[in-house]
Chain A
Amino acid sequence: MSDLVDPGKARERSVHQALEDGIEEIYTGLFSLVMGAVYLAFFTLPKGSTIGQIGAFATSGVQLALVLALVAARKKVKTAYVFPRTGYVVFRPGKWRTWVIWVFGVGGLAIALAFIVWRSRLPDLSRVAGPIAALGMAVCFLWTSVTYKFPHLSWLAAFSLLLGGLTYAIGAKNEGIAWVMLGIGAALALSGALRFRAFLRTRPIIQADAMGEDHHA
């Protein structure tokens, strides 16, 4: 009980409860698969030609359509399968969210500007693009694993690092980012699907009339 009275712990516990259905994992995994496939398509399109430009435009359209379809599907699945089992919740933005957005936003902008301004002087980092992306993902997985107590995400962090190492070993350069996203996306979607199956088996649907409706007439 003491854990719940502490707002920080209460938030961790509620987030854990909200994530245990595996839907977010499936969604993030499929999102990563879409992004990885799109990046891979971009890298393989012939550059500077009309076909390449049309292809890039079409790929962006497909990407947008797939992401919108994923968002709609997640909402439908949550309404049909999750809310009748574990309830509906909307979280307040965490106190670190603004800070994280600023760090990522300003950091990303600074890196992009540095690349534009000092492009000729910077060393060629394309060889380590895959490992850097994999390291970023591994840090995110580890943080989520420790903060919200999902040990299986530590394995995904290790898998991410392994993928990053592989892209370096095969010399995948910038395409390495796409391969890491595809690998992690597939693993995450599979892990989410297994969790979702277990969730459906262990959590029965609770009828509306048994949810205290009569107490709040």
Chain B
Amino acid sequence: MPELDRVIHEPARLLIVALLATVKEADFLFLLHATELTKGNLSTHLAKLEEAGYVEIQKAFRGKIPLTLARLTREGLVAFESYRKEMAELLKVRRHSGRAALNRSVTVTAR
């Protein structure tokens, strides 16, 4: 059975990574709106992702507006893709074993 990446497996972090996988870069405010997390929560999860090397945080200015830009690193993208594959495999196995169990119970009932 494949081992799931615990850093990405957490629902809020999975949300952030899934969003960042679709964009080149996004700032804190955009992520705040898109994930509907609280500022503190988003900040903590971004820090954990940055610590794991999955997200790169950069301070920048656009005009006079300060931005906290976040982008997924190459490792982050690879980790997200392999997480998705592992999850899909797990679900396949679960579905298969569930069907087998259902078939067994049908046979037992028929007897």
A binds B: yes
A residues in contact (CB < 8 Å) with B: 1, 4-7, 10-11, 13-14, 17-18, 79-80, 83-84, 86-92, 206, 208, 210-213, 215-216
Residues of B within 8 A of A90 (CB): 23-26
Residues of A within 8 A of B65 (CB): 79, 83-84, 208
**B102 at the A/B interface (Cβ < 8 Å)?**
no
Would you call B29 and A5 a contact (CB within 8 A)?
no
Number of A-B contacts (CB under 8 A): 111
B residues in contact (CB < 8 Å) with A: 11, 14-15, 18-19, 21-35, 39-40, 42-44, 46-47, 57, 59, 62-63, 65-69, 84
Residues of B within 8 A of A216 (CB): 28, 43, 46-47, 57, 59, 68
**Which residue of B is nearest A209, CB measured?**
B66
| Whole-angstrom distance between the Cβ of B79 and the nearest chain A Cβ | 14
Would you call B33 and A87 a contact (CB within 8 A)?
yes
Partner of B28, one of A1, A5, A11, A87: A87
Q: What are 5 sample pairs from A and B whose C-beta atoms fall under 8 A apart?
A: A14-B23, A84-B29, A88-B69, A92-B22, A215-B39
For the complex, what is the distance from the CA of A83 to the CA of B69, rounded to whole Å?
A: 12
Q: Given contacts A4-B19, A86-B33, A206-B29, could you give 14 more A-B pairs where the C-beta distance is less than 8 Å?
A: A10-B19, A10-B21, A14-B30, A83-B65, A87-B26, A88-B29, A89-B26, A89-B30, A211-B66, A212-B32, A212-B42, A216-B28, A216-B47, A216-B68
